[in-house]
Chains A and B, each alone.
Chain A
Amino acid sequence: MSTAWTHEWTRNIFRSSKDRRDLRKPPQIGLYVAAIWIVGCLLIAALAQVISPYHPAQISLDARLSPPLFFGGTLEHLLGTDELGRDVLARLIYSIQISMLIAVGGTFISTLLGVSLGFFAAELGGLIDEGVMALVDMQAAVPFMMTALLVITIFGNSLALFVCLVGLHGWERHARIARGLALTARNRLHVTAARTYNASRVHIYARHILPSCAPTIVVGMTLGLTETVLLESTLSFLGLGIQPPMSSLGNMVGYGRDYLMTAWWIALAPGLVIAATAIALMTIGEALRHSGPRSASYTSI
């Protein structure tokens, strides 16, 4: 037993660094599949109105609870139909559109907010720095779900509010990363050189500091996107996110939960899409992280 361990482990530790890098890298094929999946989802989201076989709200009472194709269903409804005879595939396509919109919008907002606050904290220092970092600490200390639910209770819910709310998620990590990177970057010699020819702070941040932080921020965005997808679907699943006439993926799972006994496919199809999207985003994020600059700033998943 012990010798087997030792053998295995010796191999690991004395393997050349190149081998170990290969080991850390996820298999390339997985990365391609992930990229194709994400591009496919974005395409579906962009073209939902064109490619959807039915209108998502179209009711056909003759074809209620028809199962998917290979489980005794027909070609007309590839993924079956729900309680009211609405086509699951059509609803799925429209839900992907809404979910992608919220995920991308939310991630964009949180990155913008986080990076600008991080830069402000780094550049201005002093009380502003302390204040931003106190906010970051607070946001990190209290689970975001709670903040989100509190806000929804007090202010009610609408699409715009919901996107902003999702956008508040994760800003603190971007802020922390951006602040750290900016504090390092602003001491670089080319930034000092720019200061000596009267470059303004805006110029320095736009031309010198942002480009040097960009790779790390992009990795953070990918990981943030994963979390946003999961957060949005969870809130919508609980019935506290996107509200009924519209539907997102989480919403569909929540609706399908009531028909689990009779029509499992209503909940399973969107659930699989969420899981696959999250896994694909995570794979891409990990690949980017390992190929890009190494940074110790990602201490939370």
Chain B
Amino acid sequence: MTLPIGPARVRTAPASPEPILELRNVDFCYRAPRRSAAEVLGGSRLRKINMSIGRGKAHGLIGESGSGKSTIAKLLLGLTAPQAGQILFDGELLTPNRLAAFRLRVQPVFQNPLDALNPVTPIGKQIVAPLLVNFRMRSSDCQARLAAAISAVGLSGEILGKLPHQISGGQAQRVNIARALILDPEVLICDEPVSALDMTVQAQILNLLSDLRESRGLSLLFISHDIRSVAYLCSEITVLKRGSIVESGSRDQVLLDPKTDYMKSLLRAVPNSELGVEMASRSTPYSQPTEPRHVPAQR
């Protein structure tokens, strides 16, 4: 395994049209025994999922609770294996023996930032843990990368000695992103990364993700039930309903010209003023740095 030393690579965005991460005809169903309550509520059967995430693109995944969004995230993180179908990463089939290398390049950001941190370990140690685990580096060697990672997510150094219960939710989510970034991944799987945060913090995190995608050429899978944040961040959108994809396409196609009643009803449920304003100004490219900062409205 090569040691990723030095500044984060800046990948030249859409170099090849070939998608970086692809699901082909994936079927998945939770097995009956040892099914925890969370899985019963949150998980469902996935049927014939076909989806691809373009290199350097931000791909949104929308769906109501229980539609299988988080299950797709689990599949894409290699936390569980599909019963049928294939997951391709960078054109190669994802197999158990490629999982370790795959995980260095695909990192998650979870919904509940404080739960995703070990409550008894200082923040600094948690951020460098991926390096220590994967490359057997001494912790003194990680300092440069640690500093780079926390400055990339806009945190100051004093947070490193704190424990998770001493920081706020927004800071915790930044810590999670820093921990994901320290491995210098190519894809971030964001499973509802802002749902547990309050409104102003949501906007900050969305902007952070957007900036990171720009500056590092990251590909994002952004999973959310909130159409507005998906509309803000993503150029491609997939809509999931009860384990099947009902609509997929570019942002404008899906949002302005929905084909299914389901998507229409979803759009109607959003306070339309907000979305309408944004749609009206769609002539500007999606996430140019010059675009005025979006602050999601009160729900």
Contact = CB atoms under 8 A, between A and B. Distances in A.
Interface of A: 125, 187-190, 192-200, 203, 207-208, 211-212
A211 B119 CA distance: 9
B110 A193 contact: yes
A196 B110 CA distance: 11
Nearest to B133: A199
Interface in B110-144: 110, 112, 115-121, 129-130, 133-134
B220 interface: no
Contacts of B115: 188-190
Contacts of A196: 77-79, 103, 107-108
Nearest to A125: B34
Contacts of B129: 194, 197, 199, 207
A187 to B, nearest CB: 6
A211 B176 CA distance: 20
A187 B35 CA distance: 11
B223 to A, nearest CB: 15
Minimum-distance CB pairs A-B, first 4: A197-B130, A189-B115, A211-B120, A189-B116
B176 A193 contact: yes
B103 A198 contact: yes
A51 B130 CA distance: 53
B133 A203 contact: yes
20 contacts: A188-B115, A189-B110, A189-B115, A189-B116, A190-B117, A192-B79, A192-B110, A196-B79, A196-B103, A196-B107, A197-B130, A197-B133, A197-B183, A198-B134, A199-B133, A207-B118, A207-B121, A207-B129, A211-B118, A212-B120
Contacts, number: 58
Given A196-B108, A198-B103, A190 B118 contact: yes
Given A193-B108, A198-B133, 5 more contacts: A189-B110, A192-B116, A193-B116, A193-B117, A212-B120
Nearest to B74: A192
Prevailing SS type, chain B contact patch: loop
Contacts of A125: 34
A197 B79 contact: no
A211 B163 CA distance: 14
B174 to A, nearest CB: 15
A126 to B, nearest CB: 10
B36 interface: yes
Nearest to B38: A187
Interface string B22-62: 00000000000010101000000000000000000000000
B93 interface: no
A212 B120 CA distance: 8
Contacts of B103: 196-198
Contacts of A203: 133
A212 B100 contact: no
A212 B119 contact: yes
A198 B121 contact: no
A200 B133 CA distance: 8
Contacts of A207: 118, 121, 129
A193 B108 CA distance: 7
Contacts of B110: 189, 192-193
Which one of A193, A207, A211 has the greatest number of beta carbons of chain B within 10 Å?
A: A193
B133 A208 contact: no
B70 to A, nearest CB: 11
Interface string B87-114: 0000000000000100110011010100
B233 to A, nearest CB: 21
A196 to B, nearest CB: 5
Nearest to B132: A203
Contacts of A187: 36, 38
A198 B130 contact: yes
B179 interface: yes
Given A125-B34, A196-B77, A208 B118 contact: yes
Contacts of A193: 108, 110, 116-117, 176, 179
Nearest to B126: A190
A195 B36 contact: no
B199 to A, nearest CB: 23
A254 B105 CA distance: 69
B100 A197 contact: no
A212 B183 CA distance: 26
A10 to B, nearest CB: 37
